[in-house]
């Protein structure tokens, strides 16, 4: 098999990664110490094995070091998650993504030099919170600790006005990088662009600037 992805831990998070990667036609090795979980994924992914990922020899045997990207999706058992990550780094796995359970877990993972740390519950919570504030806020993605990218519907105060007139960059310090109208997308839109109902904007900026922009122009 081509050594694309290995996913360790087949809970809801790891399981959903396995399903999506497989749907995208990727080769996935699914790993869990629980036989029932492994059986559940046998017909979904290219390979599934029962294995305790805190056992270095077992990981070596299946050639984990040859995988391009390993995702550690062990949740509750912090010790198992950390130990697995240490083994993967020691074996020289190049790309490791780990699901962090809490800030303390994240701190340790950072010290271990993990490339990507994810907090699915926290991230999803933030996205949903923004969406429930207003139906016009469609999606919200962190770019860094203090920068985000948001997908928003043009608010009523924007309709019939141009980008130039609204002066979004100067007034709110954030950038409209694309506007979608129906199936048409305008990337780096023209300043003369006039907003209409249903236009969807992609906006990048500092969190505080985006919040100000949303409060003034998006939330009706
Ligand atoms: P989710 O919220 O994604 O469902 P969770 O936070 O509940 O996950 P757990 O259920 O603790 O996470 O772990 C996910 C999976 O990881 C479980 O199926 C569990 O069997 C598996 N797992 C835990 N420890 C190990 C280990 N040492 N080796 C392999 N698999 C493990």
- pLDDT, greater one: 1 or 19: 19
Distance of CA 180 to the CA centre of its chain: 22
Ligand 1 and 35: CB distance under 6 A:
no
Nearest to 203 by CA among 181, 172, 174: 174
Ligand 1 close to Cβ of residue 150 (< 6 A):
no
Measured in Å, residue 88 CA sits from the centre of ligand 1 at 17
Tokens of 196: 């209409």
pTM for this prediction: 0.79
Ligand 1 center to residue 34 CA distance, Å?
Answer: 9
Answer positive or negative: Cα dihedral of 181, 184, 190, 192. Answer: negative
Query: pLDDT band at 135, cuts 50/70/90?
Result: confident
Which three-class secondary structure state does DSSP give residue 79? helix
What is the token pair recorded at 118? 């994810």
Ligand 1 binding pocket includes 32 (Cβ within 6 Å): yes
For every residue of 36-64, DSSP letters joined together read: HHHHHHTTTSSEEEE--TT-HHHHHHTTG
β-bridge partners, 8: 31, 72
Q: How far is CA 109 from CA 44, 72, 83, in A?
A: 29, 11, 10
Q: Is the pLDDT of residue 74 over 80?
A: yes
Report the alpha-carbon distance of residue 6 to residue 22 in Å, rounded: 11
Instruction: Kindly tell me if the per-residue pLDDT of 28 is higher than 70.
Output: yes
Contact call for residues 220 and 159 (beta carbons, < 8 A)? no
Give, for 81, the enclosing helix (H) or strand (E). helix 78-90
Q: Can you read off the two tokens belonging to residue 189?
A: 């839109």
Residues forming a β-bridge with 203: 150, 176
Average pLDDT over every residue of 150-170: 95
**Protein residue with least CA distance to atom 6, ligand 1:** 75
Confidence band for 83, pLDDT divided at 50, 70 and 90: very high
* Residue 81 structure tokens: 């998650």
Report helix, strand or coil for 6.
strand
User: What distance in angstroms lies between residue 73's CA and the mean position of ligand 1's atoms?
Assistant: 7
- 15 CB less than 6 Å from ligand 1? no
CB-ligand 1 contact for 8 (6 Å cutoff)? yes
210 pLDDT above the threshold of 90: yes
Q: Which domains are present in the chain? A: 5-118 (3.40.50.720), 122-218 (3.30.70.1450)
């Amino acid at each position: 098999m081509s050594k694309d992805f290995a996913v360790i831990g087949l809970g809801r998070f790891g399981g959903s990664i396995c399903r999506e990667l497989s749907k995208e036609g990727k080769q996935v090795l699914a790993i869990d110490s629980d036989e029932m979980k492994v059986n559940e994924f046998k017909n979904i992914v290219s390979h599934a094995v029962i294995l305790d990922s805190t056992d270095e020899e077992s990981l070596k045997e299946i050639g984990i070091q040859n995988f391009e990207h390993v995702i550690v999706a062990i949740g509750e058992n912090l010790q198992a998650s950390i130990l697995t990550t240490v083994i993967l780094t020691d074996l020289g796995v190049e790309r490791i993504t780990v699901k962090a359970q809490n800030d303390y877990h994240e701190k340790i993972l950072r010290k271990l030099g993990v490339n990507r740390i994810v907090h699915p519950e926290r991230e999803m919570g933030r996205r949903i919170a923004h969406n429930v504030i207003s139906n016009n806020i469609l999606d919200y993605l962190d770019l860094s600790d203090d920068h985000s990218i948001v997908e928003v519907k043009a608010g009523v105060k924007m309709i019939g006005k141009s980008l130039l007139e609204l002066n979004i960059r100067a007034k709110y310090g954030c950038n409209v990088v694309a506007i979608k109208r129906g199936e048409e997308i305008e990337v780096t839109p023209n300043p003369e662009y006039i907003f209409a109902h249903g236009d969807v904007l992609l906006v990048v900026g500092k969190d505080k600037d985006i919040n100000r922009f949303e409060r003034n122009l998006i939330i009706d």
